Amino acid sequence: MNAFFVLPARSASHGFSVDPMRMFPTHPPLARRLERLEELAREIGRARGMPSTPDPILVESSTARLDNPQALGAFFLAVFAWGILGGAFLSEPDVTNNGLLWIPLLGSLAFLGGIVLGLQGVGRASAGARGMGYAVTGLVLLLGPWALALMAMVVFGILALLGAGPIPG
């Protein structure tokens, strides 16, 4: 099971549905199970000295892998949000006097949109679409620093309670 497995982005009816068998599958897809059985049959045949078939039977999917624009969108929004943040730090705009309130607003929208598209992209990729790498990379870029900051706060809080660490007690 994938570590980033979330609710599927679309169901067969193209609407949202809560189906526990799709959210938490108990078995891999049929094509993957048939490939594994075929591989085991070849291994067992070789172990007994039986000739193995020269050309393995390929199990082809009836449908091609779907495109996943949400995954690519999440990656680009993550890069865009970090670009806006870097540009804001480098230019040091005075948002109160110059009226540049759109920079934090645009960064916040890119951040939230990237998270939503990343979760949808991971859900679609778990269902067989392309782009798992883009979706996960976008989520890591957007949520990774927050997770590290939260973990640092917990560690520093525990160290402060124990009277040790960088925070004087």
**DSSP per position, 35-81:** HHHHHHHHHHHHHTTPPPPSSPPP---SSPPPP-HHHHHHHHHHHHH
What average pLDDT does the segment 27-31 reach?
77
Give which of 60, 71, 63 is closest to 124, Cα–Cα: 71
Element (H, E) at 144: helix 132-162
* pLDDT (0 to 100) of residue 8: 47
Going by pLDDT thresholds of 50, 70 and 90, the confidence category of residue 142 is: very high
pTM: 0.55
First vs last Cα of the chain: how many Å apart?
Answer: 44
CA 137/CA 142 separation, integer angstroms: 9
Mean pLDDT to the nearest integer, 23-46:
79
Q: Is the pLDDT of residue 10 over 60?
A: no
- Taking the C-alpha atoms of residue 14 and residue 12, their distance in angstroms, rounded to an integer, is 5
What's the confidence (pLDDT) of residue 90?
Answer: 77
Is 39's pLDDT higher than 80? Answer: yes
Query: Tens digits of per-residue pLDDT, 99-138?
Result: 567 777 888 899 999 999 999 999 888 888 888 899 999 9
* Spatial contact of 64 and 128, defined as CB atoms under 8 Å apart: no
Contact of 45 with 52, CB cutoff 8 Å: yes
pLDDT number for residue 143: 92
Both tokens assigned to 4: 């980033």
Burial of 85 (0-12, 13-18, 19+ CB in 10 A): middle
**Could you read off the pLDDT of 47-82 as tens digits, one per residue?**
666 555 555 656 565 567 778 899 999 999 999 988
Q: Using alpha carbons, list the distances in angstroms from residue 154 to 8, 34, 128, 145.
A: 32, 47, 37, 14
d(CA 76, CA 134): 9
